Structure 1
Amino acid sequence: MNTSARTLFLSPRTTATGRALATAAHRRGIPAHTLREWRVPAELSAAPGPSLYAGPLFADAVAGDQGLSLALLEADADWLARLPLELTRRHIMFTTLAEARGLRRPAFVKPPNDKSFPARVYRDGSGLPGPDAVDDDAPVLVSDIVAFDVEYRLFLRDGEVLTGSRYATGGELDVAPLDADPAREGVLDFAARLFAPGVPALPSAVVVDVGRIGEDWAVVEANAAWASGHYACDEDAVLDVVLRAAAPAAAPGLPADTRFRRPVATVVR
């Protein structure tokens, strides 16, 4: 789709990444609108080629056919758990929150594609939210506890790293562009392994966080590009990925991306 016929929408929550994307969009002549409420005003509902940068809850509220009518791409909820051990360097289980509440050991537990509860190390399953807060059948990833020495965020399109950023060292925030990092080639070489034959597929536009554990590289997690902070990534390249990851539902898109569309609300007419 021609980016000159696109429109970028932002959530009411102001973020550094939202501001950076709006700046990049304006440089290309792409209108950028901040939605002030959890709905799309009538005067903006017919904006050409809508895209969105927002958190999952807000995206769910405005991306359906009663709003922006978007195809929001995200990795399969169980993608991380299906990766081979040589790409994760830890055991990861995909299960339900009800099952995870039965854990009797420490583990890192997170919801795969939203923020329904905090992603962190839990002493055991008793610390997880109860059914009054989060549904029993909510999907979760349960991981062995590891410590990443350094972590990087990568914005990928069509299997290529368009831009990247270091974001943590020793678990502490440490932001720098990937191009200025001495481990750049190691990061890119490892990222290429994610698209080798037999590795579970990803959407054509996605964010993947990777890191180093000792001498080994490993995947941290996958994230939706339309909801990910950019750290020190190049904002123009980030916009390229977001425009693909949140595109009009009626646009042709790539056939392989159909399975990666996030379910959003629809209206029965």
Structure 2
Amino acid sequence: MSDADIDLDLDLLLISAQRTSTALLLTEAARRRGLATRVLDGRPADTVVRPGEAVHWHGGPRLADAITDRLGLGLLEPRDDWLAELPREFTRRRIALEPFSSVYREVWQPVFLKPPSDKSFEAAVYGDPDRGLSDLARTLPPHTPVLVSDPVTFTAEYRLFVLDGQVVTGSRYAVYGRLDPGPLTPDARRFGAELLAAVGGTLPSAVVVDVGPLEDGGWAVVEANMAWFAQCYAADPDAVLDVVLRSAGPRERVAERDRCFLRVTSRQASG
């Protein structure tokens, strides 16, 4: 991100009150460059933000939806169907975006289900004795969009922070599904570059993409997510901050090519 993207005298990084390691790392990175930071600690957002300040956000989607209109935020996120529309060479598995009611009616064997962007339910294999679809049906509205895919096993998973189609930093975050942060490997960066060269135009200019090797040795995309709700893990926090500032900042600064990736809150949709 260039210096022209922010005004150190007027811009503010607003962070949710959840004290995560990522929040601390981003706060320190912002302070190193002279960018003001503040925590949204339960008070009304417009009492935390001073008049004239241009707000950037890092935190969860529910709280973001509550403050977006009031603070003039432009939140970038991948389209819900992005993963399902990827060429098979990058997914290595069947993936579809469907309403949960269709999945519940049609699934006769275990499948991997995940929400497209938010964390409304646990991403996992459902339909086996340990995680029944009927249990999920008791809490998930029938119209909820879900990504359904063939179960696969990633031996490791890497988070790539992407800005303007380039991987600017990244981190391993899991090994065989268990949290295990570590450095970004050349192979992960290489696969990310190949992916972005082929389909980078289908993503916001600031985003995170998770990738990893499968048990058969091939590489595949895990998912793409909004950078403003992503954990840093072992990535460079200064580079992560650049991606976060672009992904969730003043709506009037959102570039034309990113306007199709603006998050629509439930209030905006009903209005």
Matched, 1:93 2:100: no
Aligned match of 1:49 in 54, 67, 77?
A: 54
Aligned match of 2:77 in 66, 70, 74?
A: 74
Matched, 1:119 2:119: no
RMSD: 2.1
Aligned to 1:243: 245
CA change 1:197–1:218 in 2 (3 A) is closer
After TM superposition, the structure 1 stretch with the greater mean CA deviation from structure 2, 132-141 or 17-26, is 132-141
TM-score normalized by structure 1? 0.90
TM-score normalized by structure 2? 0.89
Matched, 1:8 2:10: no
When the two structures are aligned, how many residues end up with a matched partner? 260
Distance (whole Å) between structure 1 residues aligned to residue 259 and residue 25 of structure 2: 28
Letter in structure 1 aligned against 2:173 = Y
Distance (whole Å) between structure 2 residues aligned to residue 9 and residue 47 of structure 1: 14
Matched, 1:27 2:29: no
Segments of structure 2 that go 5 or more residues without pairing to the other structure are none
Shift in Å at residue 134 of structure 1?
Answer: 2.8
Aligned to 1:181: none
Aligned to 1:234: 236
Contact 1:110 1:118 in 2 (8 A): yes
Distance (whole Å) between structure 1 residues aligned to residue 191 and residue 269 of structure 2: 43
Distance (whole Å) between structure 2 residues aligned to residue 190 and residue 116 of structure 1: 29
Shift in Å at residue 3 of structure 1?
Answer: 4.5
Contact 2:115 2:121 in 1 (8 A): yes
Shift in Å at residue 87 of structure 1?
Answer: 0.2
Letter in structure 2 aligned against 1:108 = F
Q: Deviations over 1:22-68 (max 9, x none)?
A: 111111111111111173033515352210000111111112x22x2
After TM superposition, the structure 1 stretch with the greater mean CA deviation from structure 2, 14-23 or 191-200, is 191-200
SS in 1 for 2:186: helix
CA change 1:42–1:172 in 2 (3 A) is closer
Shift in Å at residue 86 of structure 1?
Answer: 0.8
Distance (whole Å) between structure 2 residues aligned to residue 25 and residue 229 of structure 1: 16
Distance (whole Å) between structure 2 residues aligned to residue 49 and residue 83 of structure 1: 35
Letter in structure 1 aligned against 2:133 = S
Segments of structure 1 that go 5 or more residues without pairing to the other structure are 179-183
Distance (whole Å) between structure 2 residues aligned to residue 238 and residue 217 of structure 1: 23
Shift in Å at residue 198 of structure 1?
Answer: 5.8
SS in 2 for 1:94: strand
Aligned to 1:105: 109
After TM superposition, the structure 1 stretch with the greater mean CA deviation from structure 2, 205-214 or 33-42, is 33-42
CA change 1:136–1:38 in 2 (3 A) is farther
Aligned 1:118-267 pairs, distance under 5 A: 118-123=122-127, 126-127=133-134, 129-130=136-137, 133-178=139-184, 184-197=185-198, 201-213=202-214, 214-251=216-253, 253-264=254-265, 265-266=267-268
Distance (whole Å) between structure 2 residues aligned to residue 268 and residue 40 of structure 1: 22
After TM superposition, the structure 1 stretch with the greater mean CA deviation from structure 2, 186-195 or 53-62, is 186-195
After TM superposition, the structure 1 stretch with the greater mean CA deviation from structure 2, 120-129 or 93-102, is 120-129
CA change 1:22–1:198 in 2 (3 A) is closer
CA change 1:203–1:128 in 2 (3 A) is farther
Distance (whole Å) between structure 2 residues aligned to residue 44 and residue 54 of structure 1: 16
Contact 1:195 1:201 in 2 (8 A): no
CA change 1:115–1:47 in 2 (3 A) is farther
Q: Deviations over 1:92-135 (max 9, x none)?
A: 111011111121110110111111111111026733533x6332
Distance (whole Å) between structure 1 residues aligned to residue 134 and residue 182 of structure 2: 35
SS in 2 for 1:41: helix
Distance (whole Å) between structure 2 residues aligned to residue 175 and residue 43 of structure 1: 33
Contact 2:166 2:196 in 1 (8 A): no
